[in-house]
Structure formats: structure tokens, C-alpha cells
Structure 1
Amino acid sequence: MALFSQSALRPGVRKREVFGWAMYDFANSGYTTVVITAVFAAYFVGGIAKGAPWGPFAWTVALSISYAIVMLSMPAIGAWADLHAAKKRVLAIVTAGCVLGTAALAITPRLGGPFAVALAMGLVVVSNTFYSYGESLTGAFLPELATAEGMGKVSGWGWAFGYIGGMLALGLCLAYVLWSQARGLPAAHFVPITMLITAGLYGVAACATFALLPERARPQAAADSRSAWQQLRDTFSQARAYRDFMWLLACTVCYQGGVAVAITLAAIYAEQVIGFVPSETMMLIFVLNIAAALGAFGFGYLQDHIGHRRALSGTLVAWIAVCVIAASVTTKGGFWWAASIAGLAMGSSQSAGRAMTGLLAPPRQLAEFFGLWSFATRLAAIIGPLSYGAITWMTGGNQRVAIISTSALFVAGLLLLLPIDMRRGRAVALREEGAQSDAVPLAVR
């Protein structure tokens, strides 16, 4: 934490609190790395679905259901958490839900037939829903910790910690997989253990967050769930007043749709199209996480220097290059290049998007506006992977067509960045605080 100064933090915020906040990214990233990306996704298609043509589509349907649940419910949950100053309390509940749901996935490889498919899909819906709630809630703490000038640095720290946590979880799982394969044990044996490792690491690491990160918000008024929904409706009705935030949401829907394709289908593409075996896929994702951590950390500083919008646009150009390379290469070496660039772009684009959200969100409605951001990211996570799965199915299993089509999402994201004015948006977000004169620094652009 010594790599950024106290000036990056809001008055009264201690670095140990930022460490506690970043540790949640460390804790939950093992879930996406092991379950959604590297291990369970490929096993679901190849093992539980037995390589059937509908396998990738069934996987994306399960994820889409969970994202739809979050998309419809998270804004209201965020509004309730804001009104009751209960972000930390709700975060503890959803963390327990994701840990238990992940551990329960361990039983699915030992089953067979349609019941195994249905149960696996159901548990993915449950665990990924709780994971997504936690991701949105932890993002809502960011503007309480960092100044406008330091938002990118602190956000980058969180993402970098996340990728380190993802690498640790994947590294432990990879070690067990290699040990099992050396003894001739099948995937049905080692996949359940990787789910337990991931759940255990998530639960243990998250304890640091609950021990070190305080709830700084104060209850705003006596309210019930009905008033939370009313506040949510008011937010949408005020969309014109926060037009830069709304443009960012539209941009997020597009580019995060492409990022969701990389997260949820990278292992499936690597194994089914390029010819990777499971241990090679896990190593690929491990290296991708190293690149993502470097991207999140480095761009966290760069975006505060050159401006958040400019930094994000650069990462979207890199994502377009990734799609083109992945669609055209036929060798494992070529795909390694695409994965490395994707890692750098993934960490930096996600860090920039979260920092921009924190800057453009009104301080009194942080959890609610991060709920709207979660709405956008979950809508993206439905559109991206589901369209990929549909294109693959319609083209007779041609995933190369699907991956090149994904580049259109990043192009659209670039175009939707153009109308955003960060200084104007920050000023609008702060207009009720009476702090425009000293809260809109040159770094916000």
C-alpha cells in the first residue's frame, strides 16, 4: 500500500482499510478464475454435457439467468443498502451464499444424466448471483475510500489484488490437477476438489475485508423496501441530470459484453478450437491473470495521469486486436499471444470502468448507482456470451465466427465513449455537495 500516497485517500481513511477493501477482490476472484473461466466451464461442456453441441449454449444460459436476476434486483438492493448504511452487512450475506454455492458444485461431477446438467446449471445460477451481488457492493465502497485524483490508483489496486487472488486459487487447483493426472485420476475426481479449494479460499480471505473495512455511510432516513424502489425509480427519472453517467452505462453494456465472452468462454475456446488440454488451459488462464494484474496495477496509475476516458479507449482498441488474433490463429503459440493481450486489456478496462463509475456517481447514492453499474454489467454478461453461444450454434459450431463477431461490441463501446465529458459529469454528481470548485481536478477527464 506504500505505492500510493495518503493523498490518494479521503480524509480519515487509513491504508489498512484500503487493504481490507482490496482483499475482497483477492477473495472473490478465485470464483471467476476457477469456476467461470478455467475449470468448471470447460468441465461442464466436456464432462457434464459430454461434449454435446448444446453444451456451450447451456453454459451461457445458466450464466445469463444469474445475470438477469442481478440486473433486476441489484439496484434495489443497493438503494436499500444506501438508505440503511448496510453495505457491509449485505456483503457478508452474499459472500456466504457464494461460498456455499461454490462448495456445492463439488457434488455435480459425481452425478450423471440430465439431473447432473440441471443441478450444475442451478448451482451456477445461485453461486454466480451471489458473486455478482458482492462485486457490486464492494465497488460501492470505492468512492468512500479514494479521492477523485486517486480513484484510478485505488481501483487498480483492487483489481490487481483480485488477479493475484485468482492466480493463487488457480495455482493451488492446478497443482492438485497435475498431481491427480500423474496418478491417472479422472476429471470427475479432481474437479470437485478444485471447487472446495476455491470456496475455502474465498471464505478465508474475505474475513480480512470484514475485519478491516468499516461501514462509513450513515443511515439517510427511516425507510423500507418500498422507499428503496421509489428511490430507484427516481434515479432513472433523473437520467438527464446524469447524462455522462448514463452514457457510461451504455458504453459498459457494450464493452463488458465482450469482456464477459473472454471470461466465460476462454477455456472452452482454447480446448475445443485450439486444442488445449485441461492442464494447458489452466496454465494459460494463470498467465492471463498475471497480465491482468499488471494491466490493472499499471493502468490504475496511467488513467489518473492521462484521463480515465482516454485510458479506457486504449484498452478497447487492444480488445479488438485480441478478437482478430484469436479468430485467425491456428496454433497454441498464436493463441498465447491473444491471451496475453487480453489479460492486460481485461485488468485495465475493468479498473478504468469502475473508477469512472465512482467519479460520476452522486456521493449520497453510491451503492444505488453502483447497482445501476451492476445492472449494466450483468446485461452485458447476458448479451455477450449468449450471442456468442447463439452464433456458435447457428454456424454449426464455428466459434471463430463468434469470436470475430465479438469485436463489434468493443467497437460500439469506443463510439459510446465519445460523448462522455468526465469533468462535466463529476461536477453534476457533486452539485448537491457544494464542492464543485475543489472536487473536479484536472485528472478527471
Structure 2
Amino acid sequence: MPIEDQPQYLAPGVSRREVWSWAMFDFANSGYTTVVVTAIFNAYFVAVVARNEEWGTFAWTASLAVSYALIILTAPVLGAYADAYAVKKRLLLLSTIGCVLFTALLYFVGPGDLWLAVVLIVLSNFFFTCGGNLISAFLPELARGRALGKVSGWGWSFGYIGGLLSLGLSLAYVTWAQGQGKPAEQFVPVTMLITASLFALSSIPTFLFLKERAVPQPHVSGRTVIREAFGRLGETIAHVRDYRDLARFLSCIVFYQAGIQTVITLAAIYAQQAMGFDTGDTMFLVLVVNVTASAGAFAFGSIQDRIGHIPTIALTLGGWIVMVLLAWMAEDRPLFWLAANLAGLCLGASQSAGRALIGYFSPDTRRAEFFGLWGLAVNLSSILGPVTYGLVSWISGGDHRLAMLITGIYFIIGLAILMGINVARGREAALRGGTISGAAEARL
């Protein structure tokens, strides 16, 4: 991270240490995605917990779908509540405790413990996703508008380093355990403790140094917290015509993130079921891909601020389409490795770019709420894409290549929707948002 030029990109009053503490949360929580969702526990769930039954992949995707459905029901209201009472940081702490706790409890999941695994995955992923939405809502408070892409890229790039550390520690343990002749049901649970511990320790700087700059919004006496939160959300939906480019981008996110979430959720399963990788091979693959993803997030953060939000996202979606075709065609490991690293490059870039554009389209007084809507779109995609893959693989009798090819359709749809977004108009709507929000509050 180029420390020496940070101040010109940061909002007034924001220190380098505070930006680092914000990025440390991406560093901390990335281990959950990397180890639990992408590299280790997902394959363990299918092979050991579900005993390699044909419905195993669908059961995994359905479990995640339940957690994302809960997020869809709660994220916008949670965001509205966080804005109204200026409690993003407090809610972030609660979500962190929840994710760490339920990830650690995955240690007790063994062969055939299907329902225990399902419950713990639903809960841990719910709290993980809540935290991701909340930490993202701090971004517009830390960076100047012209540098949202750069600062978002720093955070996402740093996050992949955290994922690397968690996966690297887990890989070291797994390699040792396999050398001792231990089966997966003995060494995979320990990686859950490693991941939970690293998440807890690495997030400490965030809660020590990150500031809650939001101020409580005016409240109406006699209204409950839930009623007021729904009232604020209702006002946002009522004024959605004033944020038409935001609404279009959210629909774009639903589709292209459906493809991304499929790759994140099922990468290890595809590697083992379609390409014949074992646990160690898969972990090493994901470790290398995380390096590529970190480089992509860092590099494209600067590129985005230079060439624009839409061209950057369009470039990454083109890369995703090529990646799907390469993975579908791959019969040997070199071509699959190429596809996997292209996915990593596009993953870091597209995730960072999407978060920055949402921040660019968000009014100052509704940041957490609009990032809650972003979370809603991402989580809807997290149901749509992986469940489609799971159903196709189940119905086709385990044809993972066909399921991967169909995933590419979501990137094509997302690219088509993206072309209709006007960034300047969307930014103007965000700048008018303060006036709109003030009028709305007066009516509440």
C-alpha cells in the first residue's frame, strides 16, 4: 500500500492508521470465505459430511442459500437502523462475535453430521455477511469521492492477504496431518479453529481505531426501532426513481455476482469432482489464486479511478466469461490453473470495483442503508448462482462441467445490464440524496 500518498485520497480528518484498521477487517474476515466457503469446508461437506451422495453439492448450496435468504430479509432494515442510530461499529462487533463463535463450533462436525453442519453454516455465514455489509458502509467516510476505487482496492487487496495467511496456516497443518496418516474428519475440523482464532485476533485493530463518524438521525417519538427502520427503508424504496442508476446497478450485481458467488462457493468442489484434485492440491490452488486476487484488487483499484467505474467492471466481466470457457474446456491441470488464476484476477477487481461504485452512488445520510441494499443484491445472487449450479449438477447426475458452463450466462446478462448505467447521473442523484433524506425525515 503506497503509504506516502495516502493523505491526498483520504477524507478530511481520516488518518492512515484508521484506514489500516478498516482494511484489517477485510484481512480478518477473508479467512472465513477462503477456508470455510471456498477451499476446505465446502469440499469436506460434500465428501465427508454428505458422504459423496449426488445431492451433496445441492445440500451445500441450499444451506448457504438459507443464510443469504435471512440476509435478504434483514440487511436493508439493519442498514437503516445503523444509519438512524449511528451504530455501525456496534453492530459490526456483534456480527464478528457471531461469525467467530459459529465458525469455531464447526470443529464438532464429523461424518454424517448433516444437520449440525447445516445449522452452523447458516449461522456463521449470516453473521459473516452482516459484517461485510457494515464494514463496507464505512468506505465513503474514509475516502474522497474520486478515490473510492483506490481505497476499496487497498482494503480488498489486504483482505486477500488475510485469506492467504489463514489458508497457509491451515495448509501447513493439513500437510502435517496427512503426513501422519490422519483422515479428513480429523484434520479439517482443526482448520475451523485456526480460521476462527485468526478472525478474532486480526479484527481487534478495527474496533480500537476505526471511528463511527455518522451521527444519529432525527427520530420520531413513540415509534419503535423496527418501525422507524422500516419507515426509512420505505422512503428509500419510494424514491428509487431518484436513484435509477443505483437500482440498475443493483440488478446488474444480482446477475454477475451470481456467477462470482458460484465460483467462490464451488471452486474446491469443482476442482475435486471434475479435475481430480485432493484436499492438499485444492488448498494450494486456492492459496495461489488468492495472491492473484490480491494483485487484481490492488491494481484495478487505481485503474478504476482512471478509466472509470463502468469500463473497469465491464473489463472484469469479460474476463469472467473467458474464465468459464477455459474451466469448461480444461481436461488437464495447466489449462485449469490458467482459468483459476484468471478467476482470481477478476475476483479481486470486480468485488472491489462494485463496492466502490455503490459508495459513489450512496447519499451521505444513507450509506449503511444503501450498502445494505448492495448486500441484499449480492446475497440474492448468492442464492441464484450456487443453487442453479447445485441443481444442474444433481439433475445431470454430477456433470460439473455443464453446471460451470451454465454459470457463464449470468456474467453475460450482467454485462448487458451494465451498459445502460450512467455514472454521472447516478452521482448527481447521490449528491441530491441529502435533501431528499431531509425531506423524508420531516415526514416521518
Give the equivalent residue in structure 2 for 1:196.
193
Give the equivalent residue in structure 2 for 1:275.
276
Distance in 1 (CA, whole Å) between partners of 2:426 and 2:10 is 21
Q: Secondary structure at the match of 2:212?
A: coil
Alignment of 1:17-416 (within 5 A): 17-109=18-110, 112-113=111-112, 116-222=113-219, 224-416=225-417
Mark the CA change 1:373 to 1:168 in structure 2 (over 3 Å): closer, same or farther.
same
Q: Deviations over 1:211-231 (max 9, x none)?
A: 110101000123622111111
Give the CA deviation at 1:432.
4.5
Give the equivalent residue in structure 2 for 1:438.
none
Q: Deviations over 1:249-268 (max 9, x none)?
A: 00100010000011000000
Distance in 1 (CA, whole Å) between partners of 2:333 and 2:118 is 30
Give the CA deviation at 1:397.
1.1
Distance in 2 (CA, whole Å) between partners of 1:312 and 1:194 is 34
Q: Deviations over 1:11-36 (max 9, x none)?
A: 11111111011000000000000000
Mark the CA change 1:310 to 1:5 in structure 2 (over 3 Å): closer, same or farther.
same
Give the CA deviation at 1:396.
1.6
Mark the CA change 1:275 to 1:29 in structure 2 (over 3 Å): closer, same or farther.
same
In the alignment, residue 240 of structure 1 is paired with which amino acid? R
Distance in 1 (CA, whole Å) between partners of 2:267 and 2:69 is 22
Give the CA deviation at 1:5.
2.8
Q: Secondary structure at the match of 1:52?
A: coil
Distance in 2 (CA, whole Å) between partners of 1:417 and 1:362 is 21
- The aligned length equals 430
Contact 2:153 2:298 survives alignment (8 Å): yes
Give the equivalent residue in structure 2 for 1:437.
none
Give the CA deviation at 1:4.
4.0
Contact 2:364 2:433 survives alignment (8 Å): no
Distance in 1 (CA, whole Å) between partners of 2:416 and 2:433 is 30
Q: Secondary structure at the match of 1:218?
A: coil
Give the equivalent residue in structure 1 for 2:438.
none
In the alignment, residue 329 of structure 2 is paired with which amino acid? S
Percent of pairs with identical residues: 50
Contact 1:275 1:332 survives alignment (8 Å): no
In the alignment, residue 261 of structure 2 is paired with which amino acid? A
Point out the more displaced range, 380-389 or 8-17.
8-17
Mark the CA change 1:3 to 1:278 in structure 2 (over 3 Å): closer, same or farther.
farther
Give the CA deviation at 1:3.
5.7
Q: Deviations over 1:35-77 (max 9, x none)?
A: 0010000000001111100000000000000000001101000
In the alignment, residue 70 of structure 1 is paired with which amino acid? I
Give the equivalent residue in structure 1 for 2:442.
none
Contact 1:276 1:332 survives alignment (8 Å): no
Q: Secondary structure at the match of 1:219?
A: coil
| Superposition TM-score, scaled by structure 1 size | 0.95
Distance in 2 (CA, whole Å) between partners of 1:432 and 1:108 is 48
Distance in 1 (CA, whole Å) between partners of 2:181 and 2:409 is 43
Mark the CA change 1:3 to 1:401 in structure 2 (over 3 Å): closer, same or farther.
farther
In the alignment, residue 282 of structure 1 is paired with which amino acid? M
Q: Deviations over 1:261-286 (max 9, x none)?
A: 11000000000110001000000000
In the alignment, residue 49 of structure 2 is paired with which amino acid? I
Structure 1 consecutive aligned stretches of length 4 or more whose deviation exceeds 3 Å: none
